[in-house]
Structure 1
Amino acid sequence: MTTTADDVRTIALALPDTAEKLAWGQPTFRVAGKIFAALGDDDTTMGVKCPVEDRAELIASEPEKFFVREGHDDNYAWLRVRLAALEDAAELTAVLTDSWRQAAPRKLLDAHPELSVPPAAGG
């Protein structure tokens, strides 16, 4: 399966209180007015929220999937994802849901416990 911009749109808009809005000429997906995902210029990549401290590990572990745009993403808590490198819709859903959780207000997170981070195995 090749993940597409349409898949991103479908999954992102299924998340609670998400809206699509153009910014910089590109589709962005927002929760409570905060961007949590944005499609790239050619619809083959997307940007998602990612803590800066986690980016290097993700990029090192899967460089074919994750990257940053040097000079653009350096100072922001964002990570780029190559859509074609995602395994399936479940992985895309996991990436988008994680980004959504980082942008969503606490009240919305509390109202949707089904979207909370699953407990770590063995702990």
Structure 2
Amino acid sequence: MTYADRIRELALSLPETYEDEPWGHPVFKVADNKMFASMSAEGPTVHLTVKLTAEEREIAQLLPYVSRARYVGRYGWITAEVTDEESLEAALEWIRESYWLKAPAELRGAVEVED
């Protein structure tokens, strides 16, 4: 299973999520059109964009594979370059956090987010 497959599998396993492609690459949304993740794949490398809390974002941006997201970075979004298991594990956790931040309150309880 590729990194993109694993990211897609987790994103679509969360309650009331679906995949869209408004800009020609996969975007994962929850409930009423709320984007919580976006991904683009170039060969084995995946670029994943997610929203994080200010504290988590500050820590994430210390990692060499994380940068402030283009266009939406000022709103708390980062982009991670997923190229190995370490970056994949971080990305999967950030998908859960981004979902939790964007999902309606009644859906948040279905997702555990590490503190």
User: Structure 1 length as normaliser, TM-score?
Assistant: 0.74
Deviates more, 1:20-29 or 1:81-90: 81-90
Q: Which residue of 2 aligns with 1:117?
A: 113
**RMSD, aligned α-carbons:** 2.6
Q: Would you identify which runs of 4 or more consecutive aligned residues in structure 1 move more than 4 Å?
A: none
Query: Structure 2 unaligned runs (5+)?
Result: none
Q: Would you say 1:51 and 2:48 are equivalent positions?
A: no
If you compute each CA radius of gyration, which structure gives the higher value, 1 or 2? 1
Shift of 1:108: 1.2
Q: Which residue of 2 aligns with 1:65?
A: 65
Q: Would you say 1:13 and 2:12 are equivalent positions?
A: yes
SS of 2:101's equivalent in the other structure is helix
One-letter code aligned to 2:53: P
One-letter code aligned to 1:50: L
* CA pair 105-44 structure 1, distance change in 2 beyond 3 A: same
Query: Structure 1 unaligned runs (5+)?
Result: none
Count of residue correspondences = 112
SS of 2:26's equivalent in the other structure is strand
Whether the aligned pair in 2 keeps the contact of 1:50 and 1:77 (CA below 8 Å) is yes
Deviations 1:64-84 (A, max 9, x none): 2211245x2342221101111
One-letter code aligned to 1:117: V
Bigger relative CO (Cα 8 Å, ≥ 6 apart): 1
More strand, by proportion: 2
